Structure 1
């Protein structure tokens, strides 16, 4: 059955790029509503923004959603990954500013909050998007691809000059709580040189060594080092799950990203929906629903964070 959060849960923090203080509240929504963001600080026009691929205003640094009234909310990818990874199909996400708080740079605070409040079934079957044939997009050395699969499988490869990251590859089946166990606590990362450039251009104003992994050559500058030796590629997989969540339905397919970012994953969804022969919408039986992200997730699976 479709699920929503049982009780509201709140999070306070600052936006990674704006540095603005923000409060985010996840509230239950009725069956079939999907996920939507609501800018509660905006009262003079439509302040609801559906969490859908065609509402994305593309940016290389984060995923930003905007509605027809020009109301936007940025850096939605981590809370979207948490909702998808915890099996929440319907929710309203209230934010009192233009950007979702970055918290510790991962999705684990959102996961902890969602699972602490619990989720409940809503008496209506889950619908899913099944990929029927390969869809691929490319830009330079980066590419992203979706192929048929019986579950959601995410595969990612990255390559950075900094030895602290280097070449990393990973593939995971997103069912059976693997997102919560393997990816949820992996933080956003960047090179020190990129931080300097972003701040010179008025970005990353809320970024610190506590909410991002910053590397400089072979050094990890953030206190405590890495949570996983391959934390960087795991975070890219976390981002991909959040961005794929903007399909509006759980996906049954194999996502492959090579040096891909938010914009390329959105390009992939646009290419998918532009070709009705590439997918079908199905109503999930219990066996299929058990293969979706978030099925059977429980709090004991949340990784400990020092």
Structure 2
């Protein structure tokens, strides 16, 4: 697969749904953006002018139950991981994501509706070379029994996930994924958000997850899967963790060249590992061109240009898949 040029969307496409926490209706539109724009959320429906925020680690601010992107004036959009995973998974470098509410719609709990919107809009090449963040040395983070690592991989991006739940129905699962759009569409995009009924009930009682239902969440009790339609994949939970990791790591601001391994992880761990990588300037560099799979040439290093300057350390609430 060729990676030599940046890409954007040919036109706009819109999806509508509800926010997983508020239960309120929301509309999201993906559309074109210029070279080097990156992935940019445009929050509409506010009093006064629309507000923009780039999907980068420096735009992450803390809320109690979700990772939220915002600016100096406050929060703008939450639960962004699935649409970011869809854009990164389908190889889109530059896009606007217009949203008229505080949450990305949960849709069916997967990235598949966003992939359908991207395919409807169409992906087109731009004239500038694609840039990557290349991991130069291993970076590890441990949080209790959870651990994550980014290590070098000059030919592409790979995610290795291992989960181990005390819930016997979920149990221990693993999945390895080498990123390309066809594999993402086939293996990862349709994997849905999941949780245990006891946790969902606690969220409901606290006024969260008001938009969660069997239509957008795979739910287990201690003995069985509760969704009557069953699973989309036998290891759907592990695949969804791959999806979440891809969306969380899209906050690097550029595609990554490296391998990410997560053990018992989630959003909190994913962001912690990304933050640790970007904080260590000797652990990465920005390169441009095409990852060398068959050709032995080395990609050209280019200036960082302040892309991650001024990052703030994200704060984390409870991990929600």
TM-score by length of 1: 0.91
Q: How far apart are 1:38 and its partner, in Å?
A: 1.0
Matching residue within 106, 110, 113 for 1:109: 113
2-side partners of 1:64 and 1:141: how far apart?
25
In the alignment, is residue 182 of structure 1 matched against residue 187 of structure 2? Answer: yes
2-side partners of 1:251 and 1:44: how far apart?
36
RMSD across aligned positions (CA): 1.8
1-side partners of 2:260 and 2:31: how far apart?
29
Aligned position for 2:67: 63
TM-superposition CA deviations, 1:44-78 (whole Å, max 9, x none)? 36611110012112468543211111132010000
Aligned position for 1:35: 39
TM-superposition CA deviations, 1:3-37 (whole Å, max 9, x none)? 11111000100000111110001111011100111
SS in 1 for 2:69: strand
Aligned position for 2:96: 92
In the alignment, is residue 172 of structure 1 matched against residue 181 of structure 2? Answer: no
- 5 Å matches for 1:205-284? 205-284=210-289
Aligned length: 290
- 5 Å matches for 1:124-203? 124-149=128-153, 150-175=155-180, 177-203=182-208
Are the aligned partners of 2:68 and 2:75 in contact in 1 as well (CA < 8 Å)?
no
2-side partners of 1:188 and 1:27: how far apart?
25
**Structure 1 pair 9/283, CA: closer, same or farther in 2 (3 Å)?**
same
Are the aligned partners of 1:60 and 1:263 in contact in 2 as well (CA < 8 Å)?
no
TM-score by length of 2: 0.87
SS in 1 for 2:282: helix
SS in 2 for 1:113: helix
Gaps of 5+ in 2: 296-321
SS in 2 for 1:123: strand
In the alignment, is residue 78 of structure 1 matched against residue 82 of structure 2? Answer: yes
SS in 1 for 2:214: coil
TM-superposition CA deviations, 1:78-126 (whole Å, max 9, x none)? 0000000111100110110100000000000100111122111111110
